[in-house]
Amino acid sequence: MSSVPSQNSFVDGVESSRRDTFMAIEAAKQLTSNGTEYKYDEKDVILYNLGIGAEATQLNLVFERSDDFETLPTFGTIPPYSSIPPFNPDLPYTMEDILPKFSLPMLLHGEHYLEIKRYPLPTSGILVSHSKVVEVIDKGTAAIIITAATTKDAITGDEVFYNEFSLFVKDAGGFGGPRKVSDRGAATAVNNPPVDREPDLVVEEKTTRQQAALYRLSGDLNPIHIDPGVSRINGFEVPILHGLCTFGIAGKHIHQNFGRISNMKVRFAGVVIPGQTLQTKMWKEGKRIVYQVVVVETGKLAISNAAAELID
C-alpha cells in the first residue's frame, strides 16, 4: 500500500523548492556575463535617430558630415540589448532556475533606467556590455527580474553607459522572495509630476506607421512589433511600438530643449500603436526634468513615473 504524503512532507518540499530558488538567485547575482561586443558607425547612429523620429532636415541627427552630428543619449539602450533578454546563455543559471514558473510569453518590459557616463558620445566605435542579475522581486502573482548592463569602450575600458532593465513576469510570483525593490537612487525613484502647476514645456510628435519597422533594425527584433499574428497572440490587434522607442522620443525632446542628460528613468504605462501622436509633458525642477508621455488619440499614458537628470 502506498503511503500518503503528510502535511509536513508537503511543507518541507515547498521550503526545499524555495531554498533552491533563493540559492539560484543569489548565485546568479554574483555572476557577470563574459561581455557582448557591439561595433557601430555613423550609419547605425543615423538609423537609430531615424527610428525615434529624426527629420531629414535635422542634419545634426541624419548627416554624418554635419559639424554638429551627434549620438543622442538614449542610443545607450542599444549596445547591451543582445546581452539582456531573455537571459544570458553563457551563465550557468537559466531563467527557469531563478523563477521556476517563468514563461517567456509572460515577460514584459516594465521599467527602464539609463545612465550616460561620458560626453561627448562617440559616433562610432566598439563597445562591450557586461550584464548581470541585480535582484528578483516577488509580487505575489507576478515577479520582477531586474538585470543590469555596464557598457564600456572596448579599447579604453572607460564606462560609457549603464542600463537597468526591469522585467515584469506575470504568473511567476509566490516563491517567497522580497516584496520591495531595494533603493538605488534615481534608478528606483518614484517620479510624480507636480499637481499644482501645468508643465513647463509640452512637445508633440506624431509617429509614423513605419516607426516600429524602422526602429527594430537597431536591435530589438521581437516579432510583436512587426508580425500581426504574434501581436494578436499577445492580445494586441496590430503590432505595437517598442517601449524603448517611446523612451527615445521622450529623451530626444528633453535633450533638444534642456541639454545634456545624466540619467533617465521611466515606467512603461501603456501601449503605443505606430501612427499615433505622442505628447511629452515636462516639468523642470532644478536639474531634474519630471515628465510623462501621453498618447493624444486615447488620452492614456504611455510613460509614467519618469524623470531625467541634467548635467548642465
Same domain, 219 and 293: yes
Residue 3: what pLDDT? 47
Same domain, 171 and 285: no
Q: Which of 225, 242, 253, 255 is catalytic?
A: 225
* Residue 254 covered by a domain: yes
Alpha carbon distances (Å) from 89 to 32, 48, 66, 106: 12, 26, 40, 19
Same domain, 15 and 157: yes
63, pLDDT greater than 80: yes
Q: Which of 243, 251, 253, 289 is catalytic?
A: 243
Same domain, 166 and 281: no
Alpha carbon distances (Å) from 145 to 86, 133, 288: 10, 8, 27
105, pLDDT greater than 70: no
Residue ending a domain, among 134, 153, 184, is 184
Cα three-residue angle 272-275-277, rounded to 5 degrees = 70
Same domain, 56 and 133: yes
Residue 50: what pLDDT? 98
Residue 8: what pLDDT? 47
Residue 252: what pLDDT? 98
Query: What DSSP string describes 117-175?
Result: -SSSPPSSEEEEEEEEEEEEEE-SSEEEEEEEEEEEETTT--EEEEEEEEEEEET---S
Asked about 275 being catalytic, the answer comes back as no
The pairs formed by 1-10 with CB atoms below 8 angstroms and a separation of 24 or more are none
Residue 17: what pLDDT? 64
All cell numbers assigned to 34: 563574459
Q: Name the average pLDDT for the chain.
A: 88
237, pLDDT greater than 70: yes
* Residue 42 covered by a domain: yes
* Residue 189 covered by a domain: no
54 near 62, Cβ under 8 Å? yes
CATH of the domain at 228: 3.10.129.10
Q: How many structural domains does the chain have?
A: 2
Same domain, 255 and 303: yes
* Residue 1 covered by a domain: no
All cell numbers assigned to 151: 557598457
Asked about 220 being catalytic, the answer comes back as yes
Specify the 3-state DSSP secondary structure of 53.
coil
Asked about 225 being catalytic, the answer comes back as yes
All cell numbers assigned to 170: 506575470
Residue 33: what pLDDT? 74
Q: Mean pLDDT, to the nearest integer, of 41-55?
A: 98
Percent of the chain beyond pLDDT 70? 88
Alpha carbon distances (Å) from 150 to 35, 85, 309: 9, 15, 19
Same domain, 117 and 142: yes
Of 254 and 10, more confident: 254
- Which of 80-94, 210-224, 276-290 is predicted least confidently? 80-94
* Residue 144 covered by a domain: yes
Asked about 67 being catalytic, the answer comes back as no
Residue with cell 537597431: 218
* Residue 190 covered by a domain: no
Which residue type does 1 have?
Answer: M
Q: Mean pLDDT, to the nearest integer, of 253-280?
A: 98
* Residue 109 covered by a domain: yes
Domain that holds residue 239: 201-310
Q: How confident is the model at residue 108 (pLDDT cuts 50, 70, 90)?
A: confident
Percent of the chain beyond pLDDT 90? 66
Residue ending a domain, among 156, 184, 212, is 184
Residue 270: what pLDDT? 96
207 near 274, Cβ under 8 Å? yes
Residue 174: what pLDDT? 79
Same domain, 89 and 177: yes
Q: Which of 44, 97, 138, 220 is catalytic?
A: 220
Same domain, 136 and 225: no
Same domain, 180 and 227: no
3-state helix, strand, coil in the chain (%, to 5): 30, 30, 40
Residue 250: what pLDDT? 98
Same domain, 299 and 242: yes
Residue 93: what pLDDT? 56
Residue with cell 541639454: 259
* Residue 191 covered by a domain: no
85, pLDDT greater than 50: no
- The continuous run of DSSP H or E covering 43 comes out as helix 42-51
130-187 pLDDT, tens digit each: 888 899 888 888 888 899 999 999 999 999 999 999 988 887 787 878 889 999 999 9
Q: Mean pLDDT, to the nearest integer, of 53-63?
A: 98
Residue 11: what pLDDT? 38
Of 145 and 41, more confident: 41
6-26 burial: b if 16+ Cβ within 10 Å, else e: eeeeeeeeeeeeeeebeebbe
Q: Which of 46, 116, 146, 240 is catalytic?
A: 240
Q: Mean pLDDT, to the nearest integer, of 253-270?
A: 97
Same domain, 77 and 33: yes
Residue ending a domain, among 184, 213, 230, is 184
148 near 129, Cβ under 8 Å? no
